[in-house]
Structure 1
Amino acid sequence: MQTKTIQPIHVLYFETRTSFKEIFQYVRVEARKLYQDAVRNDLEITGPVYWIYNGADGQPDTVFTLTIALPVTKPSHSIDSPYHLKQLEAFECISAELYGNWDGLVNTYGALFGEIMAQKLNMSGQNREIYLNMDFENPERNITEVQIGILK
């Protein structure tokens, strides 16, 4: 676990209001479409896909804002896309990497929340999951960075 500052990142993104009970309709759907749209619009992909949770509290029925974002270079041309472009602002966080099945996310978040409490940090209300490697056939090969936003 470490505390760090993520510098601003330019992204192509999808955004919606959802809950954890309803979130599975976006898994393996929107990220794939973002990649396809970036290629179709000749955008250079500069990093892995981000899932950004604003206002999520872990409860199945709580509605929050979900942003699925793909880092891309800022285009010098206009794009024809159902998606939007924006810059994610600098992000202060405490983070940890999960190696393996996403069932382990609960423990990863638990360890991070424990560290936040131990260090008496204040959370910003935004969490991010960066999918460094996704292997749907062999989930033990997944690499996911979990970032919990903190206030400095």
Structure 2
Amino acid sequence: MAEPTEEDVVREFVERTSRGETDGIEIEQRVAGGMPGEYRVSEVVTVSGTGLARARSNDARASEESTTSLDGAQTRDLFRKLGEGAGDLVPRSQASFVPDSLVGAVTIKVDEHEATLFYLADQDERETQQQLLPPETVEAVSEFSRLTQRLLHE
């Protein structure tokens, strides 16, 4: 059997999450970048279908890591929101950003297959580079960012 494409993985993710199924799914959101000499961001949050959430932040000043458990409803809602907005994110072959941009990457893992999609993480940069996202997609990736901030800064 042929290896599934990134589109196949995203489609399977969307189908499963629309049914509320989270088994065998893991999402990792990475946000990295920024101007040299300014505060550079490097944050990762991973949420498994079982509800385990891990966040990690690395910068020149410090490194932080934290873990928590989400309940089933929170996990399903987070995955469903991302499923609704995943079609607006772009694969590496279509990703083109100005150097030093704050870039987000969402890796969707379904069973043993994965797809990584990209977006500009900063709203001002999205406007400047004319790479706007629909509000529901912004909400989806923002949910992961809020989870990261909650885990690392509470």
TM-score by length of 2: 0.34
TM-score by length of 1: 0.34
Structure 1 or 2: more helix by fraction: 2
